Amino acid sequence: MSSLAKYAPPLCILLCFLGLALHTAQVVPAFENSDEAEHFLYANTIAERGVLPRILPRDALNDADSALERWNNHAHHPPLYYLSAALFINGFDRSDLATYLRTNDLIFTRGVTTNNPNKWLHSPQPPLDQTLFALKVARWFNIALGLLTLSLIYKMAHIVTHNRYVALLAMGFVASIPTFISIHSSVSNDPLVVMLFSAGILWSVRLLRRRRLTWQDDNLIGLILAGAALSKLTGAALWAVVLMALAIAVLNKWLAFGRALRTVAIALLMFAVLAGWWYLRNWQLYGDPLALDATAAMWGRDFDVVATSFAGELQRLALSFWMMVGYKHEPIFAPDWFYTVNAAIVGLAILGAFFRRRISISKWDACLLITTIAVVMALVAIGTVNVDISYGRLLMPAIAAISIFIAWGLARLPFLSGTLAIFVFFISSAIVLAIDLPSHYRTLLVVESVPATATPTDWQLDALTMIGIELHSQTIQPGEILTFDLYLHGNSSSNPALSATLVDSLSSAVMGQIDVFPGMAPTDSLDGDLIYRATLNVPIEESDEPLPPRALMLQLRWYDVDNAEWLDFTIGNGILEGAALLVDPRYEGPKFDQEASAQFGDLISLTSFDVNPTHANPDDTITLNLAWMLRGQPEKDMVLTVQLYDADGQFVTQWDGALAGIPYWLWQDGIHVPDSRQLPLPDDLTPGEYQIRLGWYDLDTVSRLPVDGPQRDNLAILPTTLTIDR
C-alpha cells in the first residue's frame, strides 16, 4: 500500500474535524460553552498569580465583589489542564477580562431562560485588550488535543480489528459527533482527560496484542495514569481499564504475575510522585484527598436543584451525548431529525454485527472495551446521584471503545454501506453545526442604513430608537419560528431587555413571546453613532385545534430588568399591525351549506355560504357565514359590502367591513378564509322576500371589483332569499 493510500483517508478525516471545530469555535461567542468562563478563570488565576485557586463556600463566592472571583468556582478540578492552558494564555493582556463576564440578568435575576442560551452579555464595542485572542488560543489548544485523540482512536481500532477500514470508520464516527467537536472547540478540561483515557486504552489493547511489556511501557502508562488523575477526578478510573488489561494478560499466561505487579508498582510510584501532591493538598485543605465534601457543598443537589425526573435526566444524557452546546439552563440540542440519523447509525451497526464477514474482535479485546464503557457509565451514574452531571460529554472518555464497536458493526455491512452511513452522519453534523447552531447565537451587526425593504419605525425610549423592522417571511405556521430583523440606533443607560410578543389579531391571545437582550448585547453599551441590526427568533405556539388563517400583531417593549418594570416609549407604541400571516396546514377551510362560485376580479372568490336564519323578523340579527378563497394580493385596502334588496330590486340597507383578521397586504393566493358577519335588520322592514348581494370595493376609489357569476352592478347575488315574516 502506498503512503498516499495509507495516510490520505485519516488525514482527510482530521481536516474535516479541524474545519468543523474551527467553525464551532468561531460561532459560539466568548465563554458561552459549558462552564467555559469558569475553566478559563482557573487558568487565568494560575497565569496571573502563579497559585492554584481554592474551593470556597458558595456564599463567599456569591458575595464576592469581582466577577473574576465570583465565577472562579472550578477549583475542585485537578490542575494539569489549567497549568497547560495558563502557558498558552500567559503572554496576552487580559486586563479587561471582568468586562466579558457581564451576566444576562434575565436568567439570573428574573429566571427567564427560554430563548436565552447566552449566559453573558456581549458588548458590540471592539475589545481593548487581548482576552478574546487568549480565549481563541486556549480553544485551539483543545482542538489540537482532539486531533491527537482521533489519531489514537484510529491506531487503537486498527490494532483491535487488524483492519484499516474499521479504523477509518471509528475515526470518522467520532470526528462527526457534535458534542465531541463542541468540547474540543471550547475551554474545558474534558479534552485532556478524553485524550489521556484514549491513550490508556490504546496502551491496554496494545498489551493484549503484543503480550509483553518493556520498561518504556511501564513509564508510559505511569505517565498516562498520573496525567489522567491530574486532569479530572474521573480520570482516575483509567486504573480499572489498565488493571483489567493486566489481569487478562496474567490469566492467559501472556504475562507473568510478577511482571504485571512491577508495572503496577512503577505506575503507582509515578502516580504518587506526579499526582500525589494534588490529593495530599486536598487532604490538608478540605479533609479528604478527593475534596468530595467541599465539592458537594458547592455543587451538590441540595444547592444545585434540578427540576427534572430520572427519565428526564436519562433523556438529557442521551441527547447531549450526540450534541449539546452551551449551559444547562438553556442547552442547545440538535434538531429532532438529527437524532433520527443517530439512531439509524447505531441501528445499522447493530444489524451489521449479525453479518458474517471476516472482521472480528477478540473476546479479550471486547471484554476490555466493554469494561471501559461500563466503568465510565458507572462513574456518571454514581456522580449523578449527588451532583447534576447527567451530560453526554462525561461519557466521552469511553468514546474510543464505543466507536470501535460502532465501526465494527458498520464495517460488516455489505456494499460498503458503513462508508455511506458515516458520510451521511458527517454531512448531518455539518448541517447542524453550520446552519442550526449559528441561529442560536445571533450577535449585533453594524449596518450603514436601514434597507428599503424594512418597515420604517420611530419608536423611541429616550436615546434608544427602533428605526426599522424587516420580517424574513410574512407567512408562518404554528410550531415554526418567526424571524425578523430589528434596527436600533442609540442606547439606554437603564440597559433594558427587549420583549417581542406575537398577538392573535382575532382573539388577542399571545401566540409567541421572547424576552432577550437584542443581539445578546447590553443596550447601554451601544455606540450612539451607529445603526445595529439584531436578528430575533420568536417561536409560535402550537394549538390543539386547527386554526383558520389570521394576522399576527408584533408588539415590542423594553423591560428594565433590575427594577422589574416596563418602560414606556417616549415616541411611538412599538406595535406593528399585521406583521405576519399565520397559516395552519391542518386547516381545510370552511364548508357551508350553500355552494357558491362567485369570483371578484382576480383577488377573491366565494366558495360557500349560509344564512341563519332564513326566516326572521324586523329588528332581528341574522348571521351570514361566508367561505372565501383568496386569489391574490390587492394594492389597496378592500372592503366587503353586504346589501339587502326587496322583491322589487330596491335597495334597503347595507353592512360594510374589511376581512376580519387579515389586512390586505397579507392576502395570498390559495388561502381559505372563514368570514362571519352579524347583520342587524332594520325595525321597519315589511314582510316579504329579500335578496342579499355581495361586493368588494377599493376603499380609496369606492370602485367595485368585477364579478364573474350571477350579479347586478358588480354585486354577486346569493341564491338564498331572506324571508321577513312580520
Confidence at residue 436, expressed as pLDDT on a 0 to 100 scale: 96
Mean pLDDT, rounded, of the chain:
94
Q: Is residue 247 part of a domain?
A: no
Percent of all residues in the chain with a pLDDT value above 70, rounded to a whole number: 98
Number of Cβ within a 10 Å radius of residue 50 = 8
**CA atoms of 190 and 173, how far apart (whole Å):** 19
Query: CB within 8 A of 158, min separation 6: which ones?
Result: 164, 166, 167
Range name among 46-50, 143-147, 391-395 with the lowest pLDDT average: 391-395
Picking from 387, 412, 437, the residue at the C-terminal end of a domain is 437
Q: Give the DSSP letter of residue 698.
A: E
Q: Which three cell numbers stand for residue 624?
A: 351570514
Q: Does 402 lie in the same domain as 328?
A: yes
Residue 466 belongs to a domain: yes
* pLDDT, position 497: 98
pLDDT digits (tens, 9 = 90+) for 659-710: 999 999 999 999 999 999 999 999 999 999 999 999 999 988 999 999 998 9
Three-state SS at 611: strand
Question: Does residue 105 lie within any of the structural domains?
Answer: no
Q: Are residues 452 and 329 in the same domain?
A: no
Q: Which of 83, 392, 365, 377 is closest to 237 using CA atoms?
A: 377
Q: Strand, coil or helix: what is 653?
A: strand
Residues 415 and 451 in one domain: no
What confidence tens digit (pLDDT) does each residue in 69-123 have? Answer: 999 999 999 999 999 999 999 999 999 999 999 999 999 989 999 999 999 999 9
How crowded is residue 311: how many other Cβ atoms within 10 Å of its Cβ?
8
pLDDT digits (tens, 9 = 90+) for 537-581: 999 999 889 999 999 999 999 999 999 999 999 999 999 999 999
Q: Where are the alpha helices (DSSP H) in 355-433?
A: 363-386, 399-411, 417-431
270 in any annotated domain: no
The model carries a pTM of: 0.90
Cell for 280? Answer: 495530599
Cell digits of residue 177? 459527533
Q: What phi and psi values does residue 485 have, to the nearest 5 degrees?
A: -100, 130
> For residue 356, with 0-12 CB atoms within 10 Å meaning exposed, 13-18 middle and 19 or more buried, which class applies?
exposed
Chain-centre distance for alpha carbon 20: 17
Q: What is the pLDDT of residues 571-614, one digit of tens each?
A: 999 999 999 999 999 999 889 999 998 999 999 999 999 999 99
Q: Which residues contact 344 (CB under 8 A, 6 or more apart)?
A: 421
What is the rounded CA–CA span in Å between residue 52 and residue 334?
37
DSSP string, 306-364: ----HHHHHHHHHHHHH--BS-TTS-BPPPHHHHHHHHHHHHHHHHHTTS--S----HH
For 561, the domain range is: 445-582
76 and 186 belong to one structural domain: yes
Query: For residues 189 and 195, is the Cβ–Cβ distance under 8 A?
Result: no
Question: 1 pLDDT band (50/70/90 cuts)?
Answer: low
Task: Specify whether 333 is located in the same domain as 418.
Answer: yes
Please count the structural domains in the chain.
Answer: 3
Q: For the chain, what percent of residues have pLDDT higher than 90?
A: 86
Query: Same domain for 62 and 200?
Result: yes
For residue 7, count CB atoms less than 10 angstroms from its CB and return exposed for 0-12, middle for 13-18, buried for 19 or more.
exposed
Q: Is 471 found in the same domain as 358? A: no
In a domain, 117, yes or no: no
**Residue 47 CA: distances (Å) to CA of 89, 91, 184:** 7, 9, 21
Residue 432 has what DSSP assignment?
Answer: I
Nine-digit cell string for 443: 450577535
Looking at the DSSP bridge assignments, the partners of residue 595 are 608
Which residues are within 8 A (CB) of 33 and not within 5 positions of it... i.e. 6 or more apart? 182, 183, 185, 186, 187, 188, 325, 326
At residue 473, the 3 state secondary structure works out as coil
Out of 582, 603, 630, pick the residue that ends a domain.
582
- Give the residue among 279, 188, 286 at the shortest CA–CA distance from 230: 279
The tens digit of pLDDT for each residue in 345-361 reads 999 999 999 887 788 89
CATH of the domain at 619: 2.60.40.770
